[in-house]
Amino acid sequence: MHRVLLISIFLLLSACSGNQLTQVITGSTMGTTYTVKTIDSDVSKLQIEQVLKQVNKTFSTWDPNSELSLLNLKPTHRWIKVSSELFFVLSQSQKIYQQTQGYFDPGIGRLIDAWGFGVAKVVQKPSRIQVSELLPLSSIRYLQLNNGQVKKTKDIHINLSAIAKGFGVDQVAHLLKKHQVKDFLVEIGGEVIASGKQGDRHWMLGIERPNGAKPIAMVLNNQAIATSGNYRNYFVWEGERYMHILTPINGLPADTDLTSVSVLNQQTMMADAYATAMMAMGSEKATELAKRLNLSVVLILNQQHDFKVVKINP
C-alpha cells in the first residue's frame, strides 16, 4: 500500500548535555532523506549507507532489478526462493493484513500504479470500472509463503512502500546495536526509532499539527514512531480532494475523518504499516484496532472535527 507521506515528525532536541560526543549523519535514501544521531559512536556513513543500499536492492519498486521488482515479474503457481529479509517482511505483511482486516495490503501494486502513485506517472486517474477490473489482481491473500519460498496464485504486483521504510530504520538500528551503540536516533522520511538517551533525557520528538498549533510532544523511551497524514499531499478526483492512500478493499482513495495517525511500537516497520492502515480505515476502526492490539496511537481528526487530538494507550 503506497503512500506519499506527510513528514510530520521532527526533532525538538538537538543539543546534547555533558561531554558526550554527538555524531549526526544525513543523506538520501528511498526517495527521501535520513538522519542518524548517535552518542559516542564510530559507526560511519559508509556503513549506514551499505545497509540502506541493501534495503533498496531488496524492496525498491523504482529499481527494475530489485528483488521485489523481479519477483513481480515471476509467473504464477511457481515456488520462488527469496531472501530472508524479503520473506520476513512479506510474512509480517500477511500478519498485519489479517490484523487490520485487509486495510493494510501490499498486494495492491497494480492499483498503486494505475492511480499514478508508483513508478510510472499517469495522465488520467483510473475510472471506477478500471479499478474494479484490477481488484481481482490486487491482494496479498494471493501470495503463499512456505519455508523461505513464495508463490503467487494470481498475477499480483507487490508494493512494500508502506513497510519497507520502517524496515530500513530498524536495519540501521540493528547495525548500531551490533556495534554496541546504546544511545541513538534513526529517522528515514519521518519514521523514527530511538534508543537510550540524549544527554540526561530521553529523545523527544514533535508531531506536527495541520492548524499551526503547537506540536504534540512525544518522548521515545526505546521506541519507534511512524506517522501517516494527508494535509500536504493530496489529489483531486471526481471533484473531491483525497489523500495518497488507497482503501485496499475497494481500490479507491481513502476518504476518512483523519488528518494524521502516529503509532508507537518496538519496531518501526510495524508502526509504519499500522499508521497506513489506520489512515485508510478512519478513527472509529483505528481506535478499535489500537485497543485490540494495545497500540499507543495519536490520532488527529480532520478540519470538520476541528483537528481534535485523540490519544489511545498514551
**pLDDT tens sequence for the chain (314 residues):** 333 333 344 444 444 445 567 899 999 999 899 999 999 898 999 999 999 999 999 999 999 999 999 999 999 999 999 999 999 999 999 999 999 999 999 999 999 999 988 887 888 888 999 999 999 999 999 999 999 999 999 999 999 999 999 999 999 999 999 999 999 999 998 899 999 998 888 998 999 888 888 889 999 999 999 998 875 565 565 555 556 789 999 999 888 999 999 999 999 999 999 999 999 999 999 999 999 999 999 999 988 899 999 999 98
| Domain parsing of the chain, residue ranges | 9-312
Q: What is the pLDDT of residue 299?
A: 97
Q: May I ask the CATH class of domain 9-312?
A: alpha beta
Cβ–Cβ < 8 Å for 41, 179: yes
pLDDT at residue 236, rounded to an integer: 64
